[in-house]
Amino acid sequence: MTETKLSNGALHEQADNSIDCANDHDPLSLSIRSNYSFSKPESLAQLRPERGSGVLPIITKAENRQLEKTMAELTINKLKFNSKGLIGRQQEITTLKSCFRCLETQNNGESLHDSEAVKDLVFLHGFSGVGKSKLAETVKEEVAASKNAMFVEGKYDFVTMDEPFSGIVQAYGSLCNQIKDSELGIREAVKLSIMENMEQETEMLKELIPELGSLFNNQDIDSISVSTRSSLGTSNENRQENWRHAFRLFTRILGSFFHPIVIVLDDLQWADPASLDVLEYLISDVQNPYPLMIIGCYRSNEVNETSILYNRMQDLSDKTERFAFRITDIEVKSCDVDAVNKMIMSMMSIDDEEKTQELAEACYKRTLGNPFFLIEFMKLLQAEGLLEFHLGLMKWVYNVSKIEDATMSTANVVDLLQTRMRKLPNDMQVLLQYAACLGSSFSPSTLQFVWKENRSIILTDDVSNVDDMLKLAEQANFMESCGTDQLRWVHDKVQEAALSLSDLVTPAFQFQLGLCLYHGLENKELDKRLFDITDLINKGAGVSREELATLNLRAAKKAQRTSAFLSASKYIANGIRFLPSDSWDTDRWLPLQLYSRGAEIELALGRTEKVDEYVGAVRNTEACTLIETMPVQVIKMRSLVSQVVIADSINDHALALLKKLGFQLVWNRKLVRAQALTLAIRTIKKVKRLSVHHFASLRKMKDPKQRAILNILSIVRVVAFKSKNVFLSMMCACKMVELTLAHGVSDMSGASLGGLANAAFFLKHDHAATLQISEMAFAVHERHGGSRVAETTYTICAHCLARVKPLHECLPMMMKGYSHGARSGEIEWSVYNLMMCLIFFPYVMGKTLDQILEQFPKILPQVEEAELKVALLIVRTFWQLVVKLQLVPSDKAAKLDGDIFKQDNKVELNPVHARIIHLAQGELFLFYGHYQTLANRDIEKGDLFADSAKTSFMIPMEAFHRGIALYAMAKRTKVRKYRTRANRLQKRISKWAKEGNPNVKHYDLMLRAEQASLNRRYGVADYLYKEAIIQAARTGHLHHAALFHERYAEYRLKDHGDVDDGKYHLAEAVRYYSEWGAVGKAEVLRKEMEAM
């Protein structure tokens, strides 16, 4: 078949397939038709002039220019590529949108089940170019139609894959920019919420996400900085928890204003481990009540069982039920021939499938149905003249055989892209390669800078304007705008094609490009692009230069601050590589910082061999003094602790270091107990003379020698405590307090005062000193910040103040300890504080069982996330207890085992868990009225709980409950052993009451009433029973008010035969048990009362 091709009036013949264009309504095409009489012919013959006429159409130059202009504006002769990758994706689009609508429905309060997850993690996976990113963007339509939803994107790329948080930073930067552009009222409300709820988190996130700072004015920033100055700066062990809390808190705040939030993270196969950590933090946040949707796109052919992403996805799939989120997996496959045909029809504006079927089959053969590859293939066909729109015929014309022959060597989409790129001017090709080195997105101003500085090295000819070339790149669909002064590649394959376009991009080229940016950018911009620039320099050939070692140290510090320890480790290694051979002699501070910080980072990663290598490098040099080597010496000690080395070996190492520093901790290791007791008494006496204000106003400790000593003492104190060497731990705490008084406050001063408060209580039983020293510890933490705040809060409140102050007064302090621990990274002690606040203290205080039950589902995920195995067992055990207390008492129900907790007798119990089981079982025996079982267990095992939990605040309650059971059995059986044990417990509790424990007053009154009843001192017994009941009811101890009424009813019935009074107190017991939540027990007593 032949057709004619019009070229300045001339007609030429060529082979052709031609297709009618479906779009006959393009106004520009109609204009051309009218101006140039291009009507659609019935056949090609109608276009030919009559034979022998010699007449050709005459077109003037002006008409030709007008024609060219009109042709450029014409749309009918251009392929249409927008959203073609979504053709044939209806099922995937429906799934994605239904996920969003489900979250939105829950957000509007229309959810059928309160337990439904409000977070959805969607994984879109398939080969590169199948349209995963375009598919994710379809959710934008739903977000636009929603009232409060927000949509943001972040992308990872193979050039900057070592940069920590790059995709996360893009996404959250976009969130901040959208907030900045929102209505004034919303913007101010978000800002106020951030300032009220985020302390050091704002400072942390501002360093990582500069756009966050744009929400605040200078006055706001100053107030934030002042409020967080004392709380910034934590150890490596806690940094990861800092970031977990910061991202979660920030997301909760944003979620309270914008919901659902949709975060798209593209090319997750290149995400760094720190970014995957953040993804997990967000999706597993059970405390975030607001709907959140995270869409992660990744190349399935680049993720296998050995990859970090694969293993992280497996871990997440195991956590869906526990952390209440959904995972939706969508595989995005290549298109079949029919879908390819529909895409081609859409590109060419044709509505007849048969007309494009042959072309579609040819395209499918070359592209395997990959949408992005198909689009580039069609562009190539048009650019090479293999596919043309004939204005005279108003048809697309092509020859399938020629297409197949001409594209035999087209191996992949990168080849296609490079074919297009090589048709561009030389300077344009070079510019694309510069841009590709800057990452998946970049600033045109940065590109202009490096172009200006380097183009003379690369090119000799005059070059075009950068702005013009970038516009051309956008028109060619290589790049697109993504915000103010920011461009990005339309696809990572385009960036890949640009990088390998020629042999220009070598390691040496990247090195020079990095140096250019390093020397040319202002410090603020340099810090923003610090990782990119350092990575470019590190790709180059290694040369010894101090400034490059310093740059890597700077990058390592920033990565470490953001808990991206793997990236920090690489920067340290490169920094050491750049060190000159004589660096220890010329400037020892730089290698000392690199090796010291490197040892600290490797310790955080658990790579002890690398720690030893870096520590050894510092130890073996003669350039450093003993004090200068102390940081790595301390890191070595912490490394030994992490390896669970025997405590004595760690202590020997520590004592040797202290001796080198001229500090004697122990004079005679056989007399540690005597030395510790003497030192504690002396230190407590000294501290009691001081005011709380004295410690709060102390200066900061600056002497590096004293700080080194404190660091070592702190490690020994913890190791000694964990190995149950109480007296060595006490001695370290006392010495640390003395150093604080002599040399100033450090970040360990508050913790050492907490240890001294414990000594004042358990050693001297001095309640006044305990309160005073506790207040000093809290004042130091409040004024100066410090480490181990959550731990100090827990030990002071749960072990000391709970026996010195009413329990309800401890709750605010422990909640503060929980909050501070979450912020500072003390996740273990943070969770312990929370457990005390929401479970154990409320139980001892007699709060309703329903109130306590509500807390278990909230606490359990946090305990699991902290990987506190023993704490998890304890929570489950107590959860089972609370559930059992609501049941009807029976022999079967009295066994602690149930659906929530089941004891495995074949497995040896952890001692801490064993004592909690012992306590919980005793609670069931008491409230089920199994007094004989509980009393006999006391005779057999005695003070098992108190002996194993020497400092627990629940010791008085547990002893009191045993006393109730023993007195009950003594009255019923007259057996002497019960009386003897009961009287012993009564004396102990009476002693605690006299010493000033406000929480045992009603215990003391009740046991004295039981004792008087047993001794038939009825007048005294009546008085004491009533006083105990009043005290329990007045202080809100519902369980004890119920128990006391029950016991008093039995006394009135059996000792006095007073049925009316007995029934009254039974009715009161039923009322209190019902209010407490023990409905089964209340029902049993009600039936007993009715049977009287």
Structure confidence at residue 296 as a pLDDT band (50, 70, 90): very high
Alpha helices in 620-748 (DSSP H): 626-642, 647-660, 672-688, 692-696, 704-722, 726-743
Closest CA to 706 of 731, 736, 730, 675: 736
Contact 1049, 1085 (CB under 8 A): no
CA distances from 60 to 6, 56, 57, 65, 70 (A): 15, 13, 10, 9, 15
Per residue in 837-873, pLDDT tens? 999 999 999 999 999 999 998 899 889 888 899 999 9
> What does DSSP assign to residue 797?
I
Q: Cα–chain-centroid distance for residue 88?
A: 36
User: What's the DSSP call for residue 1021?
Assistant: H
DSSP codes, 676-713? HHHHHHHHHHHHHTS-HHHHHTPPBP--HHHHHHHHHH
Residue 766 φ then ψ, to 5°: -95, 95
Phi, psi of 857 (to 5 degrees): -65, -25
* CA end-to-end span of the chain: 111
Distance CA 367, CA 336 (A): 11
Mean pLDDT estimate for the chain: 85
Residue 744 is predicted with a pLDDT of: 92
Residue type, 546: E
Q: How far is CA 927 from the centre of its chain?
A: 42
pLDDT at 410 over 80: no
pTM summary value = 0.77
Distance CA 867, CA 863 (A): 6
Q: Which two tokens stand for residue 118?
A: 């409000």
Q: What's CA 904's distance to the chain center, in Å? A: 34
pLDDT at 105: 80
pLDDT of residue 450: 87
Contacts of residue 540, Cβ cutoff 8 Å, sequence gap at least 6 = 507, 508, 510, 511, 512, 514
pLDDT of residue 36: 37
Give the Cα-Cα-Cα angle 540, 546, 550 (nearest 5 degrees).
85
- DSSP H or E segment with residue 316: helix 308-317
Residue 58 pLDDT level (bands cut at 50, 70, 90) = low
Classify residue 459 by its DSSP letter.
Answer: -
- Cα dihedral: 422, 425, 426, 430 (round 10): -80
Residues 450-477, mean pLDDT to the nearest whole number: 75
Percent of the chain with pLDDT over 70: 88
DSSP lists the bridge partners of residue 442 as 487
Most confident residue range from 544-548, 555-559, 956-960: 956-960
Distance CA(2)–CA(43), nearest Å, equals 11
Confidence of residue 106 (pLDDT cuts 50, 70, 90): confident
Whole-angstrom Cα distance, residue 332 to residue 323?
A: 27
SS3 content of the chain, % helix, strand, coil (to 5): 65, 5, 30
* pLDDT of 55 over the 60 cut: no
Q: Which residues, at least 6 apart from 701, have a Cβ–Cβ distance to it below 8 Å?
A: 707, 710, 739, 740, 743, 744, 745, 746, 749
Query: Distance between CA atoms of 299 and 131, rounded to whole angstroms?
Result: 11
CA distance linking residue 39 with residue 956, whole number of Å: 102
Q: Which two tokens stand for residue 1039?
A: 């369980």
The whole-angstrom separation of Cα 818 and Cα 834 is: 6
Q: Are 751 and 715 in contact (CB under 8 A)?
A: no
List alpha helices for 422-520, DSSP H. Answer: 426-437, 444-458, 466-475, 492-499, 507-520
Mean pLDDT of 284-298: 93
H or E segment and range at residue 481: strand 479-481
Rounded CA gap, 467 and 470, in Å?
5
pLDDT in tens, 1046-1091: 999 999 999 999 999 999 999 999 999 999 999 999 999 999 988 8
Contact 1000, 989 (CB under 8 A): yes
Mean pLDDT of 916-936: 95
- Scanning the structure block, which residue is given the tokens 């297709």? 19
- From 841, 829, 776, select the one nearest 803 (Cα to Cα): 841
Half-sphere exposure at residue 106, Cβ-oriented, CA atoms within 13 angstroms = 20
Confidence bin at 274 (pLDDT 50/70/90): confident
Block residue for tokens 């390093």: 518
Q: Which amino acid is at 497?
A: A
What would the mean pLDDT of 183-189 be, rounded to a whole number? 89
Tokens 């191996």 belong to 411
